[in-house]
C-alpha cells in the first residue's frame, strides 16, 4: 500500500469514527438549560475577568477557527464537532452546531454556567469527558453558599485538576494517541505529588501559586479567605490578557549561560546554556505543541557587529503519519516523531563554541515564545507577538587588561549621572570634614 493511500485510509477511518459519535462523552442538553453570563450580575467582577480570557474566546479565536476549518476540509467535516466539544460544549450538547445558528450561551464558548453545572467526569479523562446535571443548581468549591436567585451546591470536582483535565487532555479519537496532554503532564509530575492543582496557578492573581486571594465571589456575599480568579491565564499574549500572559511566560523558565569571560583572541570560546522549567506544572511548551513555538537563540557579535555565532533550537512536538512522514497535521498523526519539551522542574542544556575575536564580544542567549507560527497567524488575520521568556547577555574579553579598560571607559558615564550633592558629601568626608559640616551641606540641599 502506498504511503499516500495509508494516510488517506487513516483520515477516512477518523471521519467514520467521528460521524458515529461526534461529541465523545457529552450528553444531549438544550441550551435553554444554561444561563448566559449576562444573567450573572451578582458576580460582575469575576465576569469582567472571564470576558478577556481564552475560555470566553474558545469558539471564536481566529487561530482556532482557521485550524478547525482546515481539519474539516481534510476530514469531510468530521473533525469540527470533535474540536467544538471542548471549545463550545453547549453548542454540541444542544445540537446548535448542526443548525449553524448559535444561541448567546453557545457563542460564549466556555462560559460561567457551563462550568458551574458540571458535576464531575464521565469516563476516562479527556476529550470533553464532562458530567452534567443541568438543573439550574450552581456548583462550586464553597459548602456554605446561599443565593437569592438560584440553588447552590458544594462540588468537590471544582477543587480538582481532573475538572480541567476533562478538556485539557485531547486524545486522537481514531488511535488514542495524545494530541494534547497538559493534564497528564501535570499528573505525572512533581506538582501533583505536592497537591498543587491547575486552579492554584491559573486561577490566582500572579504566576505560580499565589494563594490565598481574599475577596468576595459575589457582590453581596461574605468575605472569603480565598477566591479563584476567572482569568484562566496561560501563554496567549495575542488574544488573551497580554500583561498577565507575559508575566506567566517570564516566570516559567530560568535561563543560565556558563562561559569564561576572558578568552585569548583566536582561541575557542566554549559555552553552555541551561533552561530550567521553574514555574510551570506541565511541560514547556504545552497544549497544542506542534503549533506552539518556543525557541532558544544564542548569538555572539564582535565590536564591529560581525556575527561569530548564531544558533537556534526549537522546542516542541513533531507528529508523524502511518508512513513515517513528518511533520504532519493532527488528523494525519499516528505517533510522535520527536518531543524535546521541558518537564516541570527539569532542565535541558546545549553546548556551543566559536572563535574569539580580537576585541570584546557580546554574547546573548534568549528564550522566546509565540503561541502560533507567523504563517498561521497571517492566515488567521491575527498578530501574534514574540515574548522573551528569559535572556542573558555577557561581554567577553581577550584579556584582563582589555576588560579593565572597557570598565574604565564606562566610568565617566556613571559619574555623569551621579547626584552633585552626594559627590560633595563624599569629597567632604574624604577631606576630613566633621559630621556637622556634612550635615549642614545636606540640609541646605
* Domains of the chain from N-terminus onward: 3-232 (no CATH), 247-398 (2.60.40.10), 414-444 (no CATH)
pLDDT on residue 173: 85
pLDDT per residue as tens digits for the range 345-354: 999 999 999 9
**Mean pLDDT, residues 23-46 taken together:** 91
Instruction: Answer yes or no: are the C-beta atoms of 290 and 330 closer than 8 Å.
Output: yes
Residues 93-130 as b/e (b if ≥16 CB within 10 A, e otherwise) read: bbebbeeeebbebbbbbbbbbbbbbbbbbbeebbbbbb
**Mean pLDDT, residues 26-36 taken together:** 96
Q: What percent of the chain has pLDDT over 70?
A: 87
* Residue 214 confidence (pLDDT) above 90: yes
Confidence of residue 410 (pLDDT cuts 50, 70, 90): confident
CA-CA distances (angstroms) from residue 288 to 95, 318, 374, 391? 26, 11, 16, 25
What the block records as the C-alpha cell of 392 is: 542573558
pLDDT per residue as tens digits for the range 305-329: 999 999 999 999 999 999 999 999 9
pLDDT on residue 174: 85
Angle between helices 435-444 and 420-430 (to 10 degrees): 170
* Residue 15 confidence (pLDDT) above 80: no
pLDDT on residue 280: 97
Sign of CA dihedral 373, 374, 377, 378: negative
Quote the mean pLDDT of the chain: 89
- Pairwise CA distance, residues 283 & 289, whole Å: 10
Instruction: Answer yes or no: are the C-beta atoms of 317 and 333 closer than 8 Å.
Output: no
Confidence of residue 413 (pLDDT cuts 50, 70, 90): low
Confidence of residue 414 (pLDDT cuts 50, 70, 90): very low
pLDDT on residue 418: 47
Claim: this prediction has a pTM higher than 0.85: yes
Confidence of residue 18 (pLDDT cuts 50, 70, 90): very low
- Pairwise CA distance, residues 364 & 361, whole Å: 10
Q: Cell 444561563 appears where?
A: 35
pLDDT on residue 409: 84
* Residue 101 confidence (pLDDT) above 70: yes
* Residue 444 confidence (pLDDT) above 60: no
Q: How far apart are the first and last CA of the chain?
A: 89
CA-CA distances (angstroms) from residue 45 to 34, 145, 196, 227, 369? 20, 17, 25, 12, 30
pLDDT on residue 412: 57
What the block records as the C-alpha cell of 187 is: 499528573
pLDDT on residue 105: 97
pLDDT on residue 100: 84
Amino acid at each position: 500500500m502506498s504511503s499516500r493511500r495509508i494516510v488517506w485510509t487513516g483520515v477516512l477511518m477518523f471521519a467514520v469514527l467521528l460521524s458515529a459519535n461526534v461529541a465523545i462523552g457529552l450528553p444531549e442538553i438544550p441550551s435553554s438549560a444554561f444561563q448566559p453570563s449576562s444573567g450573572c450580575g451578582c458576580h460582575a467582577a469575576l465576569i469582567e475577568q472571564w470576558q478577556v480570557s481564552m475560555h470566553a474566546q474558545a469558539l471564536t479565536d481566529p487561530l482556532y477557527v482557521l485550524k478547525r476549518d482546515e481539519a474539516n476540509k481534510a476530514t469531510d467535516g468530521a473533525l469540527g464537532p470533535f474540536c467544538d466539544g471542548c471549545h463550545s460544549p453547549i453548542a454540541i450538547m444542544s445540537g446548535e452546531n448542526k443548525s449553524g445558528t448559535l444561541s448567546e450561551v453557545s457563542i460564549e464558548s466556555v462560559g460561567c454556567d457551563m462550568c458551574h453545572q458540571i458535576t464531575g467526569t464521565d469516563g476516562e479523562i479527556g476529550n470533553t469527558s464532562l458530567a452534567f446535571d443541568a438543573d439550574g443548581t450552581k456548583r462550586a468549591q464553597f459548602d456554605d453558599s446561599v443565593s437569592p436567585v438560584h440553588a447552590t451546591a458544594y462540588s468537590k470536582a471544582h477543587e480538582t485538576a481532573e475538572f480541567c483535565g476533562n478538556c485539557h487532555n485531547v486524545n486522537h479519537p481514531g488511535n488514542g494517541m495524545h494530541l494534547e496532554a497538559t493534564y497528564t503532564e501535570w499528573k505525572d509530575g512533581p506538582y501533583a505529588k505536592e497537591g498543587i492543582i491547575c486552579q492554584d496557578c491559573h486561577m490566582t492573581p500572579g504566576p505560580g501559586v499565589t494563594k490565598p486571594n481574599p475577596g468576595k465571589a459575589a457582590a453581596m456575599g461574605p468575605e472569603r479567605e480565598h477566591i479563584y480568579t476567572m482569568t484562566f491565564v496561560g501563554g496567549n499574549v495575542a488574544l488573551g490578557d497580554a500583561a498577565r500572559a507575559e508575566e506567566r511566560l517570564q516566570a516559567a523558565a530560568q535561563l543560565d549561560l556558563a562561559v569564561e569571560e576572558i578568552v585569548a583572541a583566536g582561541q575557542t570560546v566554549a559555552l553552555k546554556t541551561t533552561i530550567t522549567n521553574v514555574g510551570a506544572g506541565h511541560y514547556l511548551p504545552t497544549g497544542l505543541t506542534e503549533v506552539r513555538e518556543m525557541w532558544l537563540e544564542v548569538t555572539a557579535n564582535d565590536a564591529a557587529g560581525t556575527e561569530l555565532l548564531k544558533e537556534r533550537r526549537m522546542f516542541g512536538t513533531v507528529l508523524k503519519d502511518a508512513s513515517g512522514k513528518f511533520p504532519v497535521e493532527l488528523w494525519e498523526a499516528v505517533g510522535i516523531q520527536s518531543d524535546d519539551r521541558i518537564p516541570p522542574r527539569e532542565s535541558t542544556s546545549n553546548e556551543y563554541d566559536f572563535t574569539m575575536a580580537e576585541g570584546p564580544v557580546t554574547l546573548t542567549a534568549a528564550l522566546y515564545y509565540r503561541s502560533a507560527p507567523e504563517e498561521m497567524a497571517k492566515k488567521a488575520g491575527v498578530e501574534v507577538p514574540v515574548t522573551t521568556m528569559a535572556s542573558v547577555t555577557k561581554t567577553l574579553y581577550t584579556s584582563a587588561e582589555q576588560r579593565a579598560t572597557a570598565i574604565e571607559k564606562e566610568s565617566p558615564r556613571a559619574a555623569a549621572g551621579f547626584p552633585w550633592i552626594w559627590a560633595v558629601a563624599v569629597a567632604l568626608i574624604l577631606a576630613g570634614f566633621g559630621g556637622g559640616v556634612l550635615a549642614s551641606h545636606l540640609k541646605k540641599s
